[in-house]
Amino acid sequence: MSFLNYLVSGLSLGSIYAIIALGYTMVYGIAKMLNFAHGDVIMIGSYVCFFAFTRYGLNPFISVILAMLVCTMLGIVIEKLAYKPLRAAPSLAVLITAIGVSYLLQNMALLLWSSNPKVFTPIVGKPGSNSFTIGGLTVSYVTLLTIVTCVVIMIVLTTFISRTKLGKAMRAVSEDKGAAQLMGIDVNTTISVTFAIGSGLAAVAGILLCSAYPNLTPTTGSMPGIKAFTAAVFGGIGSIPGAFLGGLLLGIIENLAKAYISTQISDAIVFGVLIIVLLVKPAGLLGKPMREKV
């Protein structure tokens, strides 16, 4: 049963990557920007939930909602101040700005909350009873919640993009900003809403991440953010199902590599698999090749 335990743990980790990757892929798919500050928004959301839940004893549900609201507002502010002025700038300028915003958020967290690790209390389960057993398979409540949350978010987000008026506007902006604007779509508002949704999802992912791996520091979101970006590329950047699939596969590969090969080179194995996949399918597993307009 050990393989099943590793597989379930990998699905849990992959679900966290998938939720983060959904934020990356939405922003890239619609605004054509790589928001490398996304991982640090995860960290901010985790700190907000930590202080609300652990320090001030608020209800877990209220703490999560508060963290989502803070991250949503943060995402809108970042987009307005850092990215909107660069809408017509070269992609390199946007990339450098994103890295700058990332370091700004990390250093702000360092000044506000210090570098001392905070021990994050899981938002579900209680000491001594935080898991259950089915046959020989032991599953923690955090693992179950993470997988269920990821599936629900995927379903809701897919429905939102395909069925709602705002979702259709996002798809139109993704296809052609100029044509969408001529058709009466407010491009700026649509992009701001995209950042807001992605940042809200980042808060959820951060809370689930810190519930599974309890140490919280100002750099907590850096490596998960990079891996989630890798998952988005793996599945096909710009594709919501691709981000979901890429995140799950990345988590499973990483967990099985740690269990059966080496914890020290598990990250190298993950990125090696990514390179192999991109050599075979440059657009990712579910990505569509981009055609240049002439």
Residue 94's Cβ-count burial label (10 Å; 0-12, 13-18, 19+) is buried
Report, as ranges of residue numbers, the positions in the chain whose pLDDT lies below 70.
1, 124-129, 289-294
pTM value surpassing 0.85: yes
Q: C-alpha angle 63/138/263, rounded to 5°? A: 85
pLDDT at 294: 44
pLDDT at 59: 84
Dihedral over Cα of 36, 72, 201, 222: its sign: positive
Count Cβ neighbours within 10 Å for each residue of 119-137 and write b for 16 or more, e otherwise: ebbbbebeeeeeeeeeeee
pLDDT at 138: 76
Query: Which are the contacts of 166, defined by CB distance < 8 A and separation ≥ 6?
Result: 160, 190, 193
pLDDT at 55: 81
Query: Residue 27 corresponds to which tokens in the numbers above?
Result: 């922003």
Considering only the C-alpha atoms of the chain, give the largest distance between any 2 of them, rounded to a whole number of Å: 64
Tell me, what amino acid is at 214?
P
Report yes or no: 242 and 287 within 8 Å, Cβ to Cβ.
yes
Query: Alpha carbon of 163 to those of 11, 124, 181: distances in Å?
Result: 28, 32, 20
Distance, CA of 291 to CA of 18 (rounded, Å) = 27
User: How big is the chain, counted in residues?
Assistant: 294
Query: Alpha carbon of 17 to those of 44, 107, 115, 169, 201: distances in Å?
Result: 17, 24, 24, 26, 11
